Amino acid sequence: MNINKWLKITLFTASLLIGGHATADKTLLNVSYDPTRELYQEFNVAFAKHWQAKNNEKITIRQSHGGSGKQARSVIDGLEADVVTLALANDINAIAEHAKLLPEDWQKRLARNSTPYTSTIIFLVRKGNPKGIKDWNDLARPGVSVITPNPKTSGGAQWNYLAAWEFAKRHFGEDKAKGFVSDLYKNVPVLDSGARGSATTFVERGIGDVFISWENEAFLALKEYGADKFEIVVPSLSILAEPSVAIVDKVVDKRGTRQAAEAYLHYLYSEEGQEIAARHFYRPSDEKVAAKYASKFPVIELFTIDDAFGGWKNAHKIHFGDGGTFDQIYLK
Amino acid sequence: MSTFTFKQYSILPGFNLALGFTLLYLSLIVLIPLSAAFIRTAELSWPEFCSIVTTPRVVASYRLTFGASFAAACVNVVFGLLVAWVLVRYHFPGKKLIDALVDLPFALPTAVAGIALTALYAGNGWIGQFLEPLGIKVAFTPIGIFVALTFIGLPFVVRTVQPVLEDIESELEEAAATLGANRWQTFTRVIFPAIFPALMTGFALAFARAIGEYGSVIFIAGNMPMISEITPLLIVTKLEQYDYAGATALSVVMLVISFILLLIINLLQWWSRRRSTIT
């Protein structure tokens, strides 16, 4: 137990040295995951302006990005995040469970399960779609090479896995789902540890016929590398990915930043916050903004993890825990 | 073990201070972090510990980690010796440059090395495009891991052998030649025994470095369970799942195996050094 304390003290001292708390300005630290970097760069500027106008006070928001699970672990180990905006609720659950920095029912505190913007999982294929990939069942076909990260290390990959599982459950029945997902993963030649690594494998190394991707990342790849190289394929069914946000209570109370942190997260739900999210290819939750950007997002039948799997805790235990269904694929 | 009787003063002053500092320093830097790993593991019961460290996936990863590290260290002993030999014995333009190049794997962030090697050896890379038609896949297979480990281990062998090779006087070889030894005999009987302990040290360092390597390997390995997953990756995987005890259990196993292997190598070295001084 003392080791934890020691670790926290060391990390805290390190953060003091690196962070340089010399400025008197109010600061917030937003600990987020990889693909939100550009989103929060724009959002932070907008929020700082809003805060300045409203309270006549300068505020600086620092942002930290990395794999969602890794970021959650840093917060557990003592990184002083005022707010966390992670890829999946389960990672924030872990902070509540292992470090008790926020109450276990944190998800009820903000609208829509504390999810200001959502996303989903779609496919990126090479130009012309040479393998004729249309839906999830094409990914399990022999001779198709699929790129997806390791769900044990990547939050995004867990969404991919569960979406494939649910598709099989609905089309082939509950008992066939495992066989289907197993066939799909036999088609995966490289299991990178994170979504960005998989994107590199698919885009730069030219490996694989299809890349299972966050919707926003797929749009970003299309924008960055040009529509002459890749195409987006929208499956008939996918999962509603809910990247959640929360205030870290113990940290904001200690640093006296609760008011600002709350305003920061609420601003994500405001019209301007929603607009920024939509511009970065996240699906806005506000109906007015959603209607405005409706043409940008393909229409897919979406299901939630709560409906299909009975929540993250359950899904995680059955599929990604030690000896779970994912482990079983490779042990046969 | 007379050094442990504190009353006996050495001729050199400062023994107490130096030993005290050594112990403190080693404790802070090495022993306390390592014992933290052991204490964390103590949260597990013995059967739990055993089942975690002997699952098929984990056992496959030990085989890969230690096997690939051993193979890479062996290759480095041969080619490291060759590089050291060339650098010590011959003079040629650009020698200083090559000498400096040897150290690069030390300095380069290992992730950079991993990404660079992957880009080279992937099916569409400079080297990969020629190997792939021959049916040789390097990137995303265990061979890729071996290549990465060879890369990072090379300087260890070169830098340990080089100074010893420089110290061997050419008179020794001349004497061997006048006594009728041919070139091969001169090498195997005179030069090799002198550099063997240094070679073993280089081997041990390259081997140990390879076992712990993470950054460069994950990019080139492909990370397929049972095939190309190294043990350090499994440790990171367990951490990602907030399984701290499981992660430290694996690290303890790696620590113990590495320690035993290094101990054997050190004993071998000690034995060879004794033998070469007696004869």
Domain identity same for B9 and B58: no
Interstrand relation of A237-241 and A83-85 (parallel, antiparallel or unpaired): unpaired
CB A300 within 8 A of CB A237: yes
Domain identity same for B55 and B21: no
- Cα separation, A96 vs A90, in Å, equals 10
Domain identity same for B32 and B111: no
Domain identity same for B213 and B157: yes
At B227, which CATH number? Answer: 1.10.3720.10
Domain identity same for B6 and B127: no
Size of interface A-B (CB pairs under 8 A): 69
Domain identity same for B115 and B26: no
The reply to whether A2-115+242-296 and A119-241+300-331 are identical in fold is: yes
- The 10s digit of each residue's pLDDT in A235-262 is 999 999 999 999 999 999 999 999 999 9
- Cα separation, A171 vs A188, in Å, equals 22
Nearest-5° Cα angle at B128, B127 to B129: 95
Take residue B152 and report the two structure tokens written for it: 């990072």
Domain identity same for B94 and B208: yes
Domain identity same for B30 and B61: no
* Residue in B55, B222, B237 closest to A152 by CB: B237
Q: Is B96 helix (H, G, I), strand (E, B) or coil?
A: helix
Domain identity same for B63 and B32: no
The parts of chain A modelled with pLDDT lower than 50 are 1, 16, 19-23
- Cα separation, A145 vs B19, in Å, equals 60
Write phi, then psi, for B158 (nearest 5 degrees): -60, -50
pLDDT value at residue B5: 52
Domain identity same for B99 and B153: yes
Domain identity same for B102 and B145: yes
All residues of chain A having their beta carbon less than 8 Å from the beta carbon of residue B58 are none
Write phi, then psi, for A105 (nearest 5 degrees): -95, 30
DSSP percent split of chain A into helix, strand, coil, nearest 5: 55, 15, 30
What is the fold of A119-241+300-331? D-Maltodextrin-Binding Protein; domain 2 (3.40.190)
Query: What is chain B's pLDDT, residue by residue, as a tens digit (279 residues)?
Result: 444 555 556 677 788 888 899 999 988 888 888 888 888 888 888 998 998 899 888 999 999 999 999 999 999 999 999 999 999 989 999 999 999 999 988 888 888 999 899 989 988 888 988 988 888 888 889 999 999 999 999 999 999 999 999 998 888 888 988 998 888 898 888 888 889 989 999 999 999 999 989 989 988 888 888 888 999 999 988 887 778 888 999 999 999 998 898 898 888 888 877 776 655
- Closest alpha carbon to A59 in A49, A67, A68: A49
ipTM of this predicted complex?
Answer: 0.70
Q: How many domains does chain B have?
A: 2
Chain B residues within 8 Å of chain A (Cβ atoms):
36, 39-40, 52, 55-57, 118-119, 122-125, 139-140, 218-219, 222-226, 233, 236-237, 239-243, 246
All residues of chain B having their beta carbon less than 8 Å from the beta carbon of residue A34 are none
All residues of chain A having their beta carbon less than 8 Å from the beta carbon of residue B122 are 205-207
CB A112 within 8 A of CB A224: no
pLDDT value at residue B277: 63
pLDDT value at residue A20: 45
> In this complex, is the C-beta atom of A126 within 8 Å of any C-beta atom belonging to chain B?
no
B89 Cβ neighbours under 8 A, 6+ residues apart? B165
Specify the CATH number of the domain A2-115+242-296. Answer: 3.40.190.10
Domain identity same for B7 and B90: no
- Closest alpha carbon to A115 in A304, A322, A325, A327: A304
Query: A3 and B39: CB-CB below 8 Å?
Result: yes
Find the domain containing B9 and state its range: 1-42
Single pTM value for the model = 0.78
Interstrand relation of A301-303 and A83-85 (parallel, antiparallel or unpaired): unpaired
How is chain A split into domains, by residue range? Answer: 2-115+242-296, 119-241+300-331
* Residue in B139, B223, B246 closest to A193 by CB: B223
